[in-house]
Amino acid sequence: MRKRRGQAKIMYIAILIVGIIIGGVIGYVLAPAKTPEEVQDIMSENEELKSKITQLLEKLGKKEITITIWTIGPDPPSEYRYKNFEIAANMLNSWLEKMGSNVTIKVTGEFFVRPVEWGEYKNKFYLAFKAGEAPDIYLTGHEDIGFLAANDYIIPLDNYVKEYWDVIYYDVIPTLWDAVKYKGKIWGVPQDTEARPLYFRKDILRKLGWSEQEINELPKKIERGEFTLQDLLGVAKEAVDKGLVERGILHRVKEGYDYFQFYLAYGGKLWNPETGKMVFSKEAWKKTLKWFYDAVWVYKVISPNQFSGDWDKDFHGPFTSGEALFLSGGTWHKGEWIQKGLLTEESFKENIGYALHPAGEPGMSPVTLSHPLVYTITKQAEERGVADICFILITLVTDPHINSYHSVQSAHLAILYSQISDSRYTQDWFLKDVAYMLKYTTFIPNHPKWGDYSRIVFNVLRAVESGELTPDEAYNVLLSEIQNTLGDDVEIVS
């Protein structure tokens, strides 16, 4: 009996050791890749910047400065939102070494990726801030600026931007500054922007009998306002009826801002820059809700459960495998599809087309929506005394070549004029092709209560698509909820 117990003990210990070894091997194999060593020393010619930095660091008197940075995709290809800081820190440290300084900058933090979504990421930030553990640099959507600024979470950057204007900030595409302003001050530095195209499958259109010329004309027809949302429904219905695709049109499966494009396409407005209030255009909402209802229940080209779907099974998967004709998505989806191996560059060029979101009615203009992400500096960074360093790091990553690492891999668009002609950026034919969409783009408002507007719209759209509300009922619910919840913060116009 004793011998048996002794043998059992030895066996358990052996299994434990083997398990630990296996775990170690797995951990090693799955270890994340290191940052590219390739450091483009583009800004090293900038002596003025270098001397500014040296003075600043000497003032601080520390040996090693750690900056914490939080960034998010949630799409995986956008990892350069964080990696660029590592590149910048390496660059900065190499200059400091050459200049004989004994200060080093260390960058720490995280790039959050799906399944973490925006809501959780923002939650985490607010709670960390309250616990005194907020990061120094916080990447977020520009629409958050209103709330963050009004509640003292971030610091205004006007003085910094003015000080470093000639370094790089003169080059930022001017409309992007509108996205980062709140009550007249600048609260963040644009990190990227995108456009949201309507993707379509060229191979399905070919099977519908469209000629190659007609297919290539489609984006231009949409741009001229000749192909409207109604025509979109018609083409999608034809494809579904003929059995060529299972679903006509796909859109995002979770809450977001993309579906506001349909409202904008019907001439709706989201905010009034003069009064700073959000706007509710009655006619546009009526038509938008009717369009969604018709798409699901009359034309039957959108699935009633699209808003409860799964990203891979109801969005990426069906479109990339040819089971859907249209997809209302974003430029970054190209980067995502290629990184996930769902498409190759060649198959994308061959079978996927992209255009603006069509106008609602003839005579209106097509639209797209941009959602610039911005780097902000938290109040706690200022309290820790590292706000200056944070801004320098942000300035270093706001560089045409370094930002292009991000743009090209994740298919986001340029934020600097010089980036548009940057060697790395121009290599990407897709980014060049979609650049025209920025002419038609709009932003969501920088209002602290925008989240309420967004949530109410999402609930109503969900109810319309699942058939719980008719378009008229949905419109009444939408109007009353908006009025009850937002009151004076929104202007109701016809």
Could you list the residues that contact other proteins (CB under 8 A)?
A: 117-119, 122-123, 125-126, 130, 143-144, 147, 150-151, 254-256, 304-305, 307-308, 313, 448-452, 454-455, 458-459, 462-463, 465-468, 477, 480-481, 484
Nearer to other proteins by Cβ, of 125 and 391: the residue is 125
Nearer to other proteins by Cβ, of 358 and 445: the residue is 445
The residue assigned the tokens 């034309």 is 299
| 393, two tokens | 């790091």
Residue pair 444/257 in contact (Cβ under 8 Å)? The answer is yes
At its nearest, how many Å lie between other proteins and the CB of residue 13? 27
At its nearest, how many Å lie between other proteins and the CB of residue 462? 4
Nearer to other proteins by Cβ, of 222 and 478: the residue is 478
Q: Where are the alpha helices (DSSP H) in 113-187?
A: 118-130, 145-150, 158-163, 174-179
Residue pair 172/403 in contact (Cβ under 8 Å)? The answer is no
Classified as helix, coil or strand, 309 is coil
Interhelix angle 387-397/47-60, rounded to 10 degrees, is 150
Sheet of 277-281: strand order equals 271-272, 277-281, 490-493
At its nearest, how many Å lie between other proteins and the CB of residue 430? 28
At its nearest, how many Å lie between other proteins and the CB of residue 458? 8
Residue 71 has phi, psi (to 5 degrees) of: -135, 165
Nearer to other proteins by Cβ, of 46 and 466: the residue is 466
Nearer to other proteins by Cβ, of 146 and 360: the residue is 146
Nearer to other proteins by Cβ, of 111 and 453: the residue is 453
At its nearest, how many Å lie between other proteins and the CB of residue 25? 25
Residue pair 379/388 in contact (Cβ under 8 Å)? The answer is no
Nearer to other proteins by Cβ, of 222 and 278: the residue is 278
The distance of Cα 164 from the centroid of its chain, to the nearest Å, equals 26
At its nearest, how many Å lie between other proteins and the CB of residue 115? 12
At its nearest, how many Å lie between other proteins and the CB of residue 141? 8
| 79, two tokens | 């990892």
Four-point Cα dihedral 450, 454, 455, 456, nearest 10? 100
